Structure 1
Amino acid sequence: MVRNGPLGVSFSTPGLAAAIPRRPFLFADSEWQCYNEKASQRRAAMKDRDSIQIGQVQGVNWIRLIGKGTYTHSACFHEIVEEFFQQHSRQVVVDLTRCSYLDSTFLGCLVRLFRQYHTPPGKRFVIVATEQKQVQLFASSQLQRFLIFDNAHAADTNSWDEVEIMWTDARTLGRHVMQCHRTIGELNIPDADKFARIAEHLAAELPPEA
């Protein structure tokens, strides 16, 4: 939910000018110009905040990740992909062109979904990322070796709907995080043992079922 707050712009008010110092408007010809510039900056910040968006391009379901993808987004992302395929989607495309960071939970989630949905006949789980973006997001973990990428440009559509991130219960979220780390722990990478131990620890710490 977006709340309208003060823009930090001070206007001259009779009786208060002496008490409240006037803020200088650098690089602005007028107070109105400064107001517009600040509003534009806020719109840009809202546009680029961490979020998950969904849309359709020629009948294909796309999921776009903006900013950082962490465990707080991962469970919701996994549920969206599962729901699309349960609705008999033949293809789901994940657009990472505007993603800036993926934590280990989200990385493991991508590998899990790719394993599950990329190879079955009639179903494809496509990850769109440029070579530069692949290096940025996956090089340190070396997980790009277990994924197939499409270097195509981002979806040409303005019809994106932002997904509200719903917090799930502690056990469901903990189980999701555990499974994602276990997936990475099963791979042939240098830190596999570390991720396997994390998964074991998380499994032992799962809250009891209600």
Structure 2
Amino acid sequence: MTTYDIGLDVASYILRDIRYTPWVRSLSRPALYRVQSILASLINGEVVTAGKVAAQLEVSQRTIARDINYLINTLHIPIAYDAQQHTYVLKGPVPVLFAPQAGFPGQSVLPEPDTLVTLEVASELVPHFESVELHPSQRFKTLPNGSGQLFLTVSPDDALAQWVMSYGGKVRVISPQSLRSRIRTLALRILASHGPEN
């Protein structure tokens, strides 16, 4: 397993970007910063020793040992200690610490029940939809005429309607009818807000 593979299992990619910054004095570095810094170093495959990290973060080795103990026992990060080299290494994938909300951005807090949504995709967008994962429930089928069909089990709310509309007519709702009606209503509102042509 490579460092990259381990890093992919972390839901918050921010953890990989946390680095030691010498201009931040130790008194202003909270424990969370230390823990994230240690975890980021482990994910990136760096050699982690309590002495090295303690010197960088300007704290005692005992503090770093407590932070690593917290990572192992509370967050269940698979960290192994090499007693011969006095180093810590990541020995498996990092469990998901923070999971992003499934669904589309802007989706309401209380979503409508999930429904099978079938979308027709114009042929020029087929390569895009074949290569991108939008939702865990997604299925895509290329049709003989070159167009495609996208199947999602999601809440057919305004966020989904606006997402479909963002493709400017190159993605069309086949079902459910309630989503088709919602898109029609939103499109009429847009048309009305732009007034008659002069």
**TM bucket by the smaller chain?**
under 0.3
Q: TM-score, normalised by structure 1?
A: 0.26
Bigger radius of gyration among the two: 2
Q: TM-score, normalised by structure 2?
A: 0.27
